[in-house]
Structure 1
């Protein structure tokens, strides 16, 4: 969450309310966050010195616009360069893709390759699980449960293959010097 906020603030200084709107307008399609989690992450970034107040309105509302500090820009760059971690590789990959245009041209391909590597590892793990299920005996009375669990795995395999194909296509376009999308 913090890195997504840093990315949004690198695009333009924004207030807490602007950040909520940014999540609602686009980022929330692949990275969900409540207003409370956005506020907590913004407060942590401020406490860590990764963002600062860029501008504050005087008067009743006292609306503050935030921007990344030099340390915040470095933290964002380090996060972008690292492959997605955790159990939800898709949201980490999509968040990096969303902000890839903030990086220098030469920095983009390694990010895409890191995502590709993570997706390949996830696909291999799902394929191992799939092969292992073929040798399992399903207890009596659980065949329907197992069938839907297997359907869930099939979905995961298909989704991972699709994501891997999309990122490989982006890598190919990048290597050919083409824009990410026509």
Structure 2
């Protein structure tokens, strides 16, 4: 979440309220967050020097507007250029894709290629499971259970293959521009 907030603050300085609205209006489609989790992430980013308070708006609540620091921009850059980690490829990939326009055009293809490679690795893992299940002997009483487990695997393979094809095509398009 911290990197998503850094990306949003790189687009424009924002208050907590603005960030909540930014999540609801855009990145929240692929990365959900509550106002409390956004506030905790802001506090951590502030404590680590990755963001700073740009201004405190006058009024009863003294609404703080945050912006990234040089260290915050470097941390964001390290994240978007880094390996695609974690169990949830979709969230990791789409949160980077959402901010890809912050990079220079030649740099975008490399990020897309890393996402494509991760999608290919995920598909390969699921295909290995599929091969294993094809030769697995299962007692009769578990055939229905296995049928739904295979249906779950089929869904994962279909979704993974779609992601792989989509990111392959997008990476090729980006590389040709």
Superposed pair shares fold, TM > 0.5: yes
Shift of 1:24: 1.0
Query: In the comparison of the two structures, how many residue pairs are matched?
Result: 177
Shift of 1:121: 0.8
- Structure 1 SS opposite 2:128: helix
Map 1:24-173; keep pairs closer than 5 Å: 24-173=24-173
Matched residue, 1:6:
6
- Structure 2 SS opposite 1:101: helix
Deviations 1:78-111 (A, max 9, x none): 0000121010011110011100000112211111
Deviations 1:93-141 (A, max 9, x none): 0011100000112211111111111111111111101111111122332
Conserved 8 A contact 2:106-2:175: no
Q: Structure 2: where are the runs of 5+ without partners? A: none
CA–CA distance in structure 2, aligned partners of residues 83 and 165 of structure 1: 19
More helix by share: 2
Question: TM-score when scaled to structure 1?
Answer: 0.94
Shift of 1:145: 1.6
- Structure 1 SS opposite 2:112: helix
CA–CA distance in structure 2, aligned partners of residues 21 and 135 of structure 1: 51
Matched residue, 2:21:
21
Question: TM-score when scaled to structure 2?
Answer: 0.96
